[in-house]
Structure 1
Amino acid sequence: MEAVKESEKYIRIPYEFLSKGFTAAGLLTLGKIFTFSSANAKDGICRSSFKTFANDFRLSERQIARQVKELKAEKIVVQDKSRRACAAYTYAGKKCGNAFIRSDLYLYQKEFEICGEGKRYLTHSEILVLSLIQTHCGNPNAGKYTGSIRGMAKLLGLSSSTVQRCLDVLKRAHLITCESKAPNGSRWSTYRINKKLLRTKEREARDSDKKGYVDPKIAALDAKSEREHYYAVARDRANAPAEQMQARLRADERYREAERQYNRLTPMIGKYDAFGQAEESRKAKVEQKRWAAVMAERMAALNISPEDLRPRYRCVKCSDTGFLPNGQMCDCYPKGGRR
């Protein structure tokens, strides 16, 4: 079996691997190394890093590192450390036959709408069952997969109940159809794949690769951060001219003293009003009015109007906060993100 170029977006899992008791992480790791390297191929080497493995199969780098270590310990995989890059793995296990399951990488990276569950990623067991059916359906001589649940379970190294559950999920996701259903798990049923839906998902995955794939949750957080940044900058710009004028006023000693006295009287007036001290409140208001006149006089002397002290918001509806008084998001945010 010839090695496959790492630019290809699928892996081959020989049937011989399925009965070895590998975990899902181990099976996928070994499958990729086997696919992109071959004992029969000259200079066939898998150069994927732990990060690439993890991204391909939605696993952690720690899981990949553990599996590679175990495969190397069992001498199924060898690593060429003489090369500059640490990622240089070659399959060194027993020679495998030509029968294998093809598993497309986009199946691990795309979410599917599942009736009764919503949108989610497929589990590795579900992908393995789907890949088995898809491999047989891709054979022009067959065009379908015919087999029993128990036979699939034995072939894939899964339990019959797991295979039954996976088939149920794949049918509810409209990824497969069952044309002739056997009355029990020991009899054969016929399955076909939904080629149109799978082609759509594959095309979406290719488009994501071109643009650079971003997890939807991360994209949502990035969009929220972008929006918050946009309005923070807008508020700073709106407040900047007013703050400059305030700084000019407070640099004036007479204005600064008048403002201090004016602000000192404000809580006192509130206290007098609360306790019914009308005369004291009246005197404080007269004094405050006098200090307000001093402030106005200094503003006129410095050629600063009250309008100059107000922020110049770009959006009068939300005052550059992004939210209307009723709590709804304002429509002033530019389409396509901040500019």
Structure 2
Amino acid sequence: MSSSTSSSEAGGAERPAEWARFALTFVAAATLLSAAFLGTAFLIDPYDTGRSPLALKAGVPPQGPRTALASRGRDPRFTGAIIGNSHIQLVSPERLREKTGIPFVSLIAPATRPKESLATIDWFLRHHRSSPAQAIVVGVDRSWCTSDPSLLPDHPFPFWLLSHNTAAYLGGLMRYDLIEALPRRVAYLLSENAGRGRPDGYWDYDAAGSPPRAKTRTSLETPIETGGGNVAGPFPAAAGLEALMAAAPQTALILVRPPVYVTALPRPGTRDASADAACREAFAGLATRRAKTALVDWRVDRPPLHDPNLFFDHGHYRQPIARLLEQDIADALGKVAK
């Protein structure tokens, strides 16, 4: 009886030890696999950040603009950049180049706010030291009028991809999306005929066609407030942009207040108008203090802003207005470059 009991107790004591060895083996194997996966990803550089020590084919396969920003923003062929969200998306880098002689890239990402734009500008400037950045065009919509110093984004954004910190970049690579991104990257690197995402980043949403006109007209004729609500300041986005651009005094900076349909312009005498004026003054002040800087303001009453056929909604215009805006940007660049 005592012999049987001793044997049972000895077996019970061994089971926890076996589980401990199994757990350690599992953790070690998982760690090695993760390290191998991460090391492979770092070398293959799935988003073409330039961090890999290998000489890899430039560019990325077609993908969303957020993950393509790193590749496009470091391309030395482009010394001008268009930064912002869909409110400046129709400004064509190709047409701006024709008007100014500056090779532009569109680094827009829909639904982004100032924090994302500042990170993108920082990435572009950091990668244009040997081929200095000539000009940056920034779309300054109502999101830039906030008084919130955190400048929190509304939607996920890969800040890790544009980070100064390699550890932050490696941490960002450990994501489920990479399981899909790596095979696409390998196929792109190995194939001579692999499709490449458009290098200048331009995407014309107007080419998709117009929405139902009756529905659009009804929506457009309903007034909305777009001043941002910040009457007294501060304006941390303007301050952040000014501080960032201090490191690039040779780079022209064009601040664009994008077009809106007339019913989105603030009504005189309202709090919305006061907030809009305060925000405008914050960026006009930046343009006054900084050399080689200009403000292009399309949030004022102009004839094209009364034509509902030129708008998808209150804040998204069509190509005829984009062409006019491009000319104003080119004219402003011509003046500040003198």
> Which gives a bigger RCO, structure 1 or 2 (Cα 8 Å, sep 6+)?
2
Q: Considering the TM-score relative to the shorter chain, is it more than 0.5?
A: no
- Who wins on radius of gyration, i.e. which is larger? 1
- Normalised-by-shorter TM-score class: under 0.3
TM-score (norm 2): 0.24
